Amino acid sequence: LAMASGAAADDNSSPMLGRYLESVTEAAELLVGGELVAFPTETVYGLGADARNATALGRIFEVKGRPRTDPLIVHVATAVDAEPLLAMPSPDALDLFRALAADFWPGPLTIVAPMAADLPTLLSAGTGAVGVRCPSHARARQLIAAAGIPVAAPSANRFGHVSPTRPEHVMSDLGRSRIFVLRDAPGASCEIGIESTVLKIDDTNRQLVLLRRGGVPELRLA
């Protein structure tokens, strides 16, 4: 698999800088303070940062070795929290967004729509659109709600590596960078184990475009 050059995280001689967390409150405070916090969702572990903080977003790309042409998905605690992140081009598009959110959230569906102008362009990779999702995993939603911010979070692994479903997977892949890894609640898990389905609202052509298959069964999208 292709890997970014100069990846310190792949140097096994580097010291481990990552640290595990047990406390949602501590994890939330670190996110607000601009740190990277990996956390569990129902799909896979995500590497989270404050979606409003361009410096923190830049560290996601750096730690993952992720191309800056690859947009980030923003996670929210409720559907209402997603709307300020979007610049819906028409009332019909907003109605469609709300209908999708009501049907599929919380859950493994990412909805892509035009991004609000006050958010960092890194989120959209210059496309002008952003993906938003409300996860169903209880600990993920507790974390986002406690932080009180939208949380950008791609999968918590080096670009091109297998997406992690356990905190140990995250630490093994990314722990040589300064990150924090929130452990899951006892008995909980990333039960789906694959990334979210991604749907784009195409208002110009008045249709939905499937950009990525994932955690939502395709029959539900028909």
The H or E element containing residue 141 is helix 138-147
Per-residue pLDDT 10s for the chain (222 aa) are 333 333 444 456 678 999 999 999 999 999 999 999 999 999 999 999 999 999 999 999 999 999 999 999 999 999 999 999 999 999 999 999 999 999 999 999 999 999 999 999 999 999 999 999 999 999 999 999 999 999 999 999 999 999 999 999 999 999 999 999 999 988 778 999 999 999 999 988 889 999 999 999 988 987
User: Which pTM does this prediction carry?
Assistant: 0.92
Buried b / exposed e along 132-150 (16+ C-beta atoms within 10 A): bbbbbbebbbbbbebbebb
Rounded CA-CA distance 120/72 in Å is 11
Q: Which two tokens stand for residue 27?
A: 């994890």
Identity of residue 112: V
- Cα angle for residues 107, 77, 52 (degrees, 5° grid): 120
- Cα angle for residues 35, 37, 38 (degrees, 5° grid): 155
Whether the CB-CB separation of 139 and 48 falls below 8 Å is answered with no
